[in-house]
Structure 1
Amino acid sequence: MPDILTILASADDGKAVPAAFGVQDYQWVSLAMLVLIGVFLWKKVPGLITGGLDSKIAEIKQQLDEAKNLRAEAETLRDEYASKITTAEQDAEKMIEGAQREAVAILDKAKSDGEAMVKRRKQMAEEKIASAERDAVRDVRNRAASAAAIAAGDIIANKHDAEADGKLADEVIAGI
C-alpha cells in the first residue's frame, strides 16, 4: 500500500515537490499550524488560568474583607452589649440598694410613728384618767359641799334661832 506522501507526490503530475530537511510542504504547514496553536495556547491558556485564579483570589479577598467587617461589627456589638449588661447590672444593684435603704427608712418611720402613736395614746389615756379623776374629785367635792350644806342647814336649823340669824347677817354685811 502506498503511503500518503507517495500519493500526494504523484498527484503533482510528476513535478518535483520542494522539501526542506526532508519534510514536505504540507508537513511544514502542519508544523507551522501546530506552532501557531501552541503559541496561541501558550499565551492565552496561562492568561485564562491566571485570570480565573485572579478573579477567584479577588472573590476570596472580598469574602475575607466582608468576614473581617462582619467580625468587627460583631465585636463592636458584643462590646456594646457587654457594656449594656454591665450598666444594667450596676443599675440593678443601685436599685436594690435604694430599695433596701427605702425599706429601712420605711421601717424606721413606721417604728417611730408607732412609738409616737403609742405615746399619744398613752398621753390621751392619761389625760382621760386625769379628767376622770378631776370629774370624780369635783363630784366628790360637790357632793361633800352639798352634804355639808345640808348638814349645816340642819345644824343651823336645829341650833340657830332668829337672833343668831340676825347676828350672822350683820357679820356678813360688815365683812363685805
Structure 2
Amino acid sequence: MENEALSSAPWIHGAFWVLVAVLIFIVAFGARIAVPLGKLLDSRAAAVRQSLDEAAQLKAEAEAMLVDARKKRAQALAEAKDILARAHEEAARAAAELTAEAEMRARARERMAEERIQAAQASAIAEVRSAAVDVAIAATVQALRDGLTAAEDGRLVDHAIAEVPNAFTRRAA
C-alpha cells in the first residue's frame, strides 16, 4: 500500500512537472510579457476610445447638418410655394389684361367695320341717287326733244328704270 500511496504523489507524474515549469516561466518572464501586453492593450483601448469620441463628434455634426438641412428644405418649400402663388397671381392678372385688351380691340374692329358698312351704304345710296338723276335727266331731255305722248313717256320711264343697273356697272368701270 505504501507503494500505492507513493505512486499517487503528484510529483511522480510528468504533468506536475510541466505545471511547475509553466509556473516558473510565468514568474520569470510574466512581468516582461505582461508590461508590453498591458501597454498594447492600453493603446488599443485608447485608440478605441478615440474612435468612439470621434464617432460621437461626427454623429453630433451629422445631426446638426440634418437639422440645418431640414430647416433649409422647409425654407425652400416655403419660398417655392410663395413663388408659385405669385406666378399664379401674375398669370391671372396677365390673362385678365389680355382678355380686356382683346375685347377692346374686338370692339374697335367692330366699330371700324360698322363705319365702313355705313360709308359703303351712304356711297351706294349716293350712287343710286346719282344714277337715278342721270336717268331721269336723260329721259327728260329725250322727252323734251321728242315731245312724247303719255304712253311713250311711260315706256321711257320703264326703260330708264331698267337701265339703272347698267348705269351702276358703267360707273363702277
| TM-superposition CA deviations, 1:3-48 (whole Å, max 9, x none) | xxxxxxxxxxxxxxxxxxxxxxxxxxxxxxxxxx99x95x986887
Q: What corresponds to 1:127 in structure 2?
A: 112
Cα distance between partner residues in 2 of 1:108 and 1:150: 62
Higher RCO, 1 vs 2 (CA within 8 Å, ≥6 residues apart): 2
Amino acid of the structure 2 residue aligned with 1:136: Q
Task: Give unmatched runs, 5+ long, in structure 1.
Answer: 1-36, 162-176
Tell me by how many angstroms 1:56 deviates.
Answer: 4.3
Asked if 1:106 corresponds to 2:95, the answer is no
| Structure 1 counterpart of 2:61, from 32, 56, 76 | 76
Tell me by how many angstroms 1:152 deviates.
Answer: 2.8
Q: Pairwise CA RMSD of aligned residues?
A: 3.2
Task: Give unmatched runs, 5+ long, in structure 2.
Answer: 1-22, 147-173
Q: Which runs of 4+ in 1 moved over 6 A?
A: 43-51
Alignment of 1:1-176 (within 5 A): 41=27, 56-159=41-144
- Identify the structure with the greater helix proportion: 2
Deviates more, 1:150-159 or 1:109-118: 150-159
Determine helix, strand or coil for the equivalent of 2:64.
helix
Normalized against structure 1, the TM-score is what?
A: 0.56
Amino acid of the structure 2 residue aligned with 1:96: K
**Matched residues, number:** 123
Cα distance between partner residues in 2 of 1:68 and 1:160: 134
Cα distance between partner residues in 2 of 1:82 and 1:160: 115
Tell me by how many angstroms 1:75 deviates.
Answer: 1.3
| TM-superposition CA deviations, 1:56-77 (whole Å, max 9, x none) | 4543333222111111011112
Normalized against structure 2, the TM-score is what?
A: 0.56
Cα distance between partner residues in 1 of 2:59 and 2:32: 39
Cα distance between partner residues in 2 of 1:48 and 1:69: 31
